[in-house]
Structure formats: structure tokens, C-alpha cells
Amino acid sequence: MFGQLNPGNGIETAGSVRVRLAPSPTGNLHIGTARTGVFNWLFARHHGGKFILRIEDTDLERSRPEYTQNILDGLRWLGLNWDEGPIFQSDRLDLYRQKIQELLDKGLAYRCYCTESELAQMREEQKAKKQAPRYDNRHRNLTPAQRAAFEAEGRTSVIRFIIDDEREIAWNDLVRDRVSWKGSDLGGDMAIARAATSSDIGQPLYNFVVVVDDIDMAITHVIRGEDHIGNTPKQILLYEAFGTKTPHFGHTPLILNQAGQKLSKRDGVTSIDDFQQLGYTAEALANYMTLLGWSPPDSQELFGLEEAAAKFGFERVNKAGAKFDWDKLNWINSQYLHSMPVDKLTEMLIPYWREAECEFDAAGDRPWLEQLAALIGPSLSRLKDAAGMSRVFFVKEVECSAEAVAQLAQPEASGVLEAILAHLDSEPVLTQAGAGEAIKKVTKEKNLKKGAVMRSLRAALTGEVHGPDLVQSWLLLHQRSLDRSRLQAALALKG
């Protein structure tokens, strides 16, 4: 017997599309969950439908309110605004209990009284016979007397939903096309609640509550990570048991690390928080996540979420896993940073300068901070990198790199530095034009190449031989009265 097949491409319900993101608050918002959120959001917006947020907090031991907060904050930061919710599963236990009772009453579910050790022994025996571990449905047909005896012993039960081994369950996946499973591969009658007693239904479990909620919220398309694909046949059987139409399912490719394995905590940076702290902008990260598994029809790579929503469709979502590409993410982020107005960039850099313990007065030094942001902005790919790049403009003294020491040891260096100091004596207020003139004058007077003058000046002022625009750097240091002392220190270094 075949399961219900969804006809067409699954998008015949334009205007009434209802999708949901259903994170479990057992950790901070993960990039995989956020990317699933992006695809759901794009799909909802593309079809003028609704994006619903549901917090799956039925795992009482592992769920934490601070993780819920982190998930809500992260989604808001990314611009993934939701239309309904957040709906908390923990508020809906009565509904789940009622629905479990309904299955018990219909004879589609039953109480299984097996103890942990009986189940463990069953698995051992299966292993010894080289069989896949499964529940062998041994309590499916207990007599009332057997049930009463177990309860008299004080055993609690697991409520199991009957799965017919002979069934084939198939659906047309939005990403993977036709997917089919055998009932016999689903591990036997499935647990839908645990720790039940004769008077209580116990704790409802994941696959069951998801279906109850998706029906209750009239979800039309379930879009989630490929790691859930094995849950889908079980869930389809539950839809059938409740006599409701199944939604469409789309299983999105997993995000993989460089080694081609599923990106996990061990890969270091995986939560949206981590990316935010490194200085990726929300727009760049959302843009990059959109490209993790989807390619736009016109191969445009930079776009906002709204723009992507106009083009989004599952026909361009890949089946294969999406490799996380740091270079691409950095490139996208740099494009956003480079096109950002300098006042906004300054605003975004201030927390990173603070974190790096740079000393400044955010109000009084504002024009100077903006000049600094304008100077380093074109070389930035992440905001956090600004700390290292800006350090030289905040600290009193710099330590010269080996290349800078070598530059300052050149025979012409002392003369250059002395001449620049003399210029500062004669014209104590440095302007952009004045700085350019001074470099030109020294070049001419000392009969040197301009590059040689600039290299010595840069080495003395910044302790490095490479860096952003020299005249601008000098002006910034001058405004903080750091140029003279550095020129003098470089001369002293030469002895």
C-alpha cells in the first residue's frame, strides 16, 4: 500500500502558504537552524504566506529560557521577522494529551510496559543475531489482565503508536523529489509519550507533538534540515491516523565543514552569536546563508532578503550538502562593510574598539573616529579585525616590526625623519595638503625617491612597512599628538 503522494510541485496554495521554524531551545541559535529559518522565511515571503515561530521546549531537562532568548534575538538581528508566535510547546501539553488519548481510544496506540533492562536485553539479542535494533512490538496485544498485572507491579508505560511493517510511505519532497520508506525500517511501534501511568498520559515526544502542532497551526509546507528526513515517514503515518492531509515536505541540504562532515560544535564558530561577535553584519550573514544550498537564477551574489525572496524557489535548492566557505562569507561581508556610510561603520566599530581596550571618548573623538573608520574601512572584511588594524592609532608607543627596523637602519632614514620633524616645528598644525607637501619637499631636498621617504616615515610612525594610506595615517596620529614622539623614538632607536 502506498502513502499519500503530494501532487505537483507543492506550491498550488499561493497566498495561503504557512511555514514554521521550530527550534529547540537546547543551545544558542545555530547556523543550521538559522539557515532553515532563512529558507522558510524566503518561501513564505515569496508566496505572500505566513512564517510562524514555534519553540520546541518539551525536553524539560535540556531546554533553557536563555537559549530561547538567544534564538529570538538572533532571528530578529538577522531580519527573519515572524508573523505568528513564538508559540511554546510547553504551553500546549493539554492538547497533546488529548490527542494521545484520541489515538488510544481509536486503538491506534497502546501502552507498552517494557522496562529499560528488558529493552536493553532485546537489543542485545538482536545484535547477536546481526539484526538492526528495533522494538519488537511485544506489548501490542496485551490482554486487560496482563496490563493490570504490570500496573499492579507499579510499572510506568511508554505509549506506542502502531506502525504497520508492510506499509510503504512515500512523498514528493520539495528538494529530493520522490522519497520512500518501508514501514519495517521505522524501528517498530513508535514511542509517542513516555513515563505514562494509568491515570496520566506522561511526557509526549518529539515526532508526535510536531504533527499535532503542524496540524493545529495549519502548516502547509514543512521545510527543515535533511537530518529530519527519517522522521517524516513516521509523521506521515500520524497525519493519516488523525485523518488529515499531509503538508508538503522539503528537506534542505546540511551545512558541511571543510572535511565534508556535518558542521558541528567541534568546528568552533557555529552559533549566530559567534558570527556576530567576529563582526559579520546581519545583512552579509543572511545573504551568505541564502547561498548555502540555493543558487539564484541570475547568479547575482549580493542581495537583501527581500530581493532574494522575490526569486526564491525549491527548484534551485541543491540536494547535495552545502560546504561552508569562509572566503566567500568574508568576501560578502567585506562588500557590505565597504559600501557602508562612514558614520554607520563608526557606530559598528565602537564596540570592537572598546572590547580591544582602545582609549577614546566616543562623543568628543567622534570626528577622529570617523576618519579612522574611513581609513581602515576599505581593508576590512570583519569588524573584529579592526581592533588589530587600529591599535597603532590608539597606543602611545609602537614596537617596530623587523622590516620596520631594517627600513629605519637605511642610511637615508635619519635625515628623512629629522627633516619631517623640522617641518612640524615650522608648521605645527598639519593638514592633508601640508603633509603631502612635506613629503615632496624632503624627497627633493634629500634627492631621494618618494617611496624611500614614505617607507621611512611609515616605519617610524606605525612600526610597520605596510598599511593604509600614509598621509591619512599621519594626520590621524598628528591629531592625537603621537607623530612627533614616534619620529623621535625612531631616531633614538637608530642611536
> Where do contacts with ligand GLU occur on this chain (CB under 6 A)?
22-24, 56, 210, 224, 228
What is the 8-class DSSP label of residue 315?
A: G
Residue with Cβ nearer ligand GLU (17 or 439): 17
| 182 in active site | no
Residue with Cβ nearer ligand GLU (254 or 329): 254
**How far is the C-alpha of 57 from the C-alpha of 90, rounded, in Å?**
6
Residue with Cβ nearer ligand GLU (139 or 228): 228
Strand pairing class (109-112; 157-161) = antiparallel
Least separation, in Å, of the C-beta of 2 and ligand GLU?
A: 23
Place of cell 503522494: 5
Contacts of 281 (CB under 8 A, 6+ apart): 333, 336, 337, 340, 348, 383
Half-sphere exposure of residue 3, counting CA atoms within 13 Å on the CB side?
30
Is the peptide bond between 86 and the residue preceding it cis, with omega within 30 degrees of 0?
yes
Q: Catalytic one among 265, 319, 444, 449?
A: 265
Torsion of CA 195, 196, 200, 205, to 10 degrees: 70
Least separation, in Å, of the C-beta of 214 and ligand GLU?
A: 8
**What's the first-to-final CA gap in the chain, in angstroms?**
92
Least separation, in Å, of the C-beta of 229 and ligand GLU?
A: 11
Helix, strand, or coil here: 221?
A: strand
Residue with Cβ nearer ligand GLU (221 or 224): 224
Least separation, in Å, of the C-beta of 91 and ligand GLU?
A: 16
Structure-block grid coordinates of residue 225: 534540515
Residue with Cβ nearer ligand GLU (197 or 261): 261
Cα angle 270, 274, 276 (rounded to 5 degrees) comes to: 125
Give me the amino acid identity at 349.
L
Least separation, in Å, of the C-beta of 224 and ligand GLU?
A: 4
Residue with Cβ nearer ligand GLU (160 or 228): 228
Q: What is the Cα Rg of the chain in Å?
A: 32
Least separation, in Å, of the C-beta of 368 and ligand GLU?
A: 47
Structure-block grid coordinates of residue 326: 569562509
Residue with Cβ nearer ligand GLU (228 or 478): 228
**How far is the C-alpha of 236 from the C-alpha of 238, rounded, in Å?**
5
Q: Is 382 within 8 Å of 278 (Cβ atoms)?
A: yes
> Looking at the chain, how many residues does it have?
495
Q: Ramachandran region of residue 187, left (φ > 0), alpha (ψ -120 to 50) or beta?
A: left
Helix (H) or strand (E) holding 464: none
Least separation, in Å, of the C-beta of 235 and ligand GLU?
A: 8
- The residue number whose beta carbon is nearest to ligand GLU equals 224
Contacts of 416 (CB under 8 A, 6+ apart): 442, 446, 448, 452, 453, 456, 457
Query: Annotated active-site positions, please?
Result: 265
